[in-house]
Structure 1
């Protein structure tokens, strides 16, 4: 399994069990993913402590309904999915996001559309 799939699965499992946080390896791509999740409001915060990246998950209401309802890997090591700037899709009318790997770094579909830049579709989150 690749690093991104492993990270998304860890977050998905922790979210399913309603854990308050999840620990993932402090790799550069994981830090960028955590930064995007924080900026878009899908997680509370993240910290790099003792060679671990800790993501604090976000829930709503007294029943602790997860904010993250779906994390899905799109491009895999065996099947890469590339799109140009004109083909960048919207997810649920802008409620969800796609994360792309571009020549300017990891960014959301909204950011990539603003600067008219395509790239590899990494995952979708809503």
Structure 2
């Protein structure tokens, strides 16, 4: 039984980028689809799709690398953990690496990046840090 599906997703992405795999597959959920959508919108992955497999649906991410094979995701960390939740208001969200990275937040408006959270003036739980 998996106790933290978000950490599992981030670990799968981290491992895939280290060995430069073109695809990553994992069981799907609403929060994972939201994180995948943010990664696509921010340009860290090419595409994601949901496959009808048994016993459950599978989420497939198409990883993105630079023109010479360099990694776009150099670091991916879980911020808010099941034992210690981390919440931030939109005024407390600072750009990661001067805007070169993002934070992924779970807000009342859904899963969004820190840039979008600041423009929409909404805070929430910080799920992950990516750069």
TM-score range, shorter chain: over 0.9
TM-score normalised by length of structure 2: 0.91
* 1:65 has 2:70 as partner: yes
- Where does residue 91 of structure 2 map in the other structure? 86
* 1:25 has 2:31 as partner: no
Separation (CA, whole Å) in 2 of partners of 1:22 and 1:42:
13
Equivalent residue in structure 1 for 2:102, among 75, 90, 97: 97
Moved over 2 A (4+): none
- Where does residue 56 of structure 1 map in the other structure? 62
- Where does residue 14 of structure 1 map in the other structure? 16
Separation (CA, whole Å) in 1 of partners of 2:16 and 2:94:
28
- Segments of structure 1 that go 5 or more residues without pairing to the other structure are none
RMSD of aligned alpha carbons: 1.1
Separation (CA, whole Å) in 2 of partners of 1:115 and 1:42:
22
Separation (CA, whole Å) in 2 of partners of 1:118 and 1:61:
35
Find the residue that maps to 1:65 and give its secondary structure. Answer: coil
Separation (CA, whole Å) in 1 of partners of 2:108 and 2:67:
39
Q: How many residues align?
A: 125
User: Cα distance, 1:26 vs. partner?
Assistant: 1.3
| CA shift digits 1:77-121 (9 cap, x unpaired) | 001111112111210111111011111111111111112111111
Separation (CA, whole Å) in 2 of partners of 1:25 and 1:69:
24
Find the residue that maps to 2:9 and give its secondary structure. Answer: helix
* 1:2 has 2:12 as partner: no
Separation (CA, whole Å) in 2 of partners of 1:40 and 1:97:
8
